Structure 1
Amino acid sequence: MSTENHAVRTVEQLLAVLDLDSTQARTTEDIFTGASHPMPSGRIYGGQVLAQSLIAAERTLPEDRAVHSMHGYFLRPGDASQGITIAVDRIHDGRSFSTRRSQAYQNGVPIFSMIASFQDEGPGVEHAEPMPTDVPAPEDLLPDEATVEGLPGGAARMLTDRAADVRHIGQPLYLPNTDERVPQQGVWMRLRAPLPDDPRLHRAALAYLSDMTIQESILRAHGAYWALPGLKVASLDHAMWWHRPARVDDWLLYVQESPNARGGRGLATGRIYTRDGSLVASVAQEIMIRVPDVDSPAQA
């Protein structure tokens, strides 16, 4: 299969995962079902359930009422070999704002719970933190899968087969690295092939991408990497604010930092920019992290 055909196939698989089926409403809830991405770990990728929960909620709203924020909790690990059921509760519909709660289930128990708010477009005050200017262009960086030799087969295939082209500014964290231990990093990312023009689909795909690499500013502060023996990481919650429209099949810069880690938890924040400097979204995530042999209080 050619590289171009492979890229198209990975995005088609993502679109299939985001194409939910709806069933008849149960009491006050709308019910949707969807498929899961196969994953080498066997656990559902968090960005998948984020995006699916958002798609389900937006299906209950007029097209011109767009998501502006979400707050969600990862309650249990999901099984990537099984499908997923999402129940949407229509909590509130006002003149300008709507609120929805989405809960994702497997085997009858919730694995993810989210509340999201939606708003009609309107005028207002505006400002934004500017994009960093001292970053290389994505064309000057190698795709992640071209920079990591020696990864186990499953992990290497995951990088090649994912729908996103991700390019770290600096050394990726899949294997031991010699970069300075600092709680920050930058990543360029985009989908490998064009998406349809549906703005809802691009917003959901942005949520999908937002869970990718956000944890790494915490790992970098401690010299940790994904293949480190004994490393344990699990996402606890995820928050996201959509500021401006953007296409996820164009290059986006994801600027990330970790302001704190303590008590087995780490907090990571991120800002997502278009290539021309428009601030698209802000993200925050807290993770559970266990790093073997943390050897210096100065790193905590």
Structure 2
Amino acid sequence: MTEMARQAATGLDTGPGGGGQPVLDKLVALLDLEQIEENFFRGVSPAHSPVRVFGGQVAGQALVAAGRTVPESRRVHSLHAYFIRGGDPSVPIVYEVDRIRDGRSFTTRRVVAIQHGKAIFSLSASFQVDEPGIDHAETMPDVPDPESLPTFAERIEGFPLRFTDRPRPIDVRYVGDPPWITRTSGQRPRHNRVWMRADGALPDRQLLHVCVLTYASDMTLLDSALARHGVYWDVDRVLGASLDHALWFHRPFRADEWFLYDSTSPSASGARGLATGRFFSRDGTHVATVVQEGLLRVL
């Protein structure tokens, strides 16, 4: 285990919803995997982890592992992942990279995350050299500026939500009322919109910014499915877990600058909910798209 990983594993007590540069630095350390052999990497989880490893963490670490085997001139443009088993935050995760293909324009990698001798997560990622081509994009919704919105700590004040004492490396600002408020107001919003950014400054490493956005993409996404039914994780009897996750990266961005995460749920059935999300940089550029299906059991 690297010294950075050791420090990341110790966690940081910052109080309810605390964040800032020290907490973000620990996320960067979590994403700085230790190489233990060719095509094999090892990562850890923070001390403040819940019962299972956070899905965004294992996805971000797996993408780091894949990216370490690809030339920096090739940018990741998509990933497709499956959450197979719940991760154990008390032990390291080993990431095995399979170098599927190195073509003239595209590079393909497959990564399997392993704990206790079993696969807990698998990811396929595709990287591409920069090329010119046709260009169009969706328009960003008209929303208030993030600075005009309450902080997460202000939003949760007075609500008995779980896990709010964990360090938060991502600054999250809800555009409308958050789901734990709308559920009691009778509202059934079709969109869940939040401003996000890494809560501090990140190094100028393109892959790191993509991995931080990948980490953040597992936050608030399935809320859009629950909001359609007026229920929420921490205040209703809901069991849930990410089942699969897909991301497409359209244009360059910085994860330490504000981006709008606009998510909605087109369908839910069979104790599963489907959610889609779009990421826009502050200037309105459509930078990424995400789709996730999650287990949602309302008891």
Match for 1:189 among 166, 179, 196?
196
Check the 8 A contact 2:111/2:123 in 1, yes or no: yes
Matched, 1:106 2:143: no
- Distance across 2 between alignment mates of 1:10 and 1:277: 28
Quick check: 1:202 aligned with 2:209?
Answer: yes
Amino acid corresponding to residue 124 of structure 2 in structure 1? I
Whole-Å separation in 2 of the counterparts to 1:68 and 1:119: 7
> Structure 1: which 5+ runs fail to align?
293-300
Aligned match of 2:5: none
Matches within 5 A, 1:41-52: 41-52=50-61
Give the match for residue 27 of structure 2.
14
Q: Which residue of 1 aligns with 2:4?
A: none
**Which residue pairs with 1:32 in the alignment?**
41
Amino acid at match of 2:155: T
Q: Please, which moves more after superposition, 39-48 or 277-286?
A: 39-48
User: Which segments of 5 or more consecutive residues in structure 2 lack a partner in the other structure?
Assistant: 1-12
Provide closer, same or farther for how the CA distance between residues 136 and 121 of structure 1 changes in structure 2, counting only shifts above 3 A. same
Show CA shifts across 1:42-67 (max 9, x none).
21110001110001001001101111
The CA deviation at 1:40 is 5.1
Q: Does 1:172 align with 2:185?
A: no
| CA distance, structure 1, for counterparts of residue 58 and residue 81 of structure 2 | 10
The amino acid that maps onto 2:289 is: S
* Percent of residue pairs bearing the same amino acid type: 47
Number of residue pairs matched by the alignment:
284
Q: How many Å apart are 1:154 and its aligned residue?
A: 5.2
What TM-score do you get using the length of structure 2 for normalisation? 0.90
Per-residue displacement from partner, 1:83-111 (whole Å, max 9, x unpaired)? 21100000001000011001111111111
Aligned partner of 2:105 in structure 1 is: 96
Deviation at 1:178, TM superposition (A): 1.6
In structure 2, C-alpha distance between the alignment counterparts of 1:148 and 1:67, rounded to whole Å: 35
Distance 2:80 2:66 in 1: 13
Matched-pair contact (CA < 8 Å) for 1:171–1:179: no
User: What residue identity is the alignment partner of 1:182?
Assistant: P
| Alignment partner, residue 297 of structure 1 | none
Q: Which residue of 2 aligns with 1:295?
A: none
Match of 2:76 among 67, 76, 83: 67
CA–CA distance in structure 1, aligned partners of residues 104 and 111 of structure 2: 21
How far apart are the structure 1 equivalents of 2:291 and 2:86? 20
RMSD of aligned Cα (Å): 1.8
Moved over 3 A (4+): 150-154, 174-177
- Counterpart Cα distance in 2 of 1:194 and 1:235: 29
TM-score (norm 1): 0.90
Of residues 115-124 and 140-149 in structure 1, the stretch that sits farther from structure 2 once superposed is: 140-149
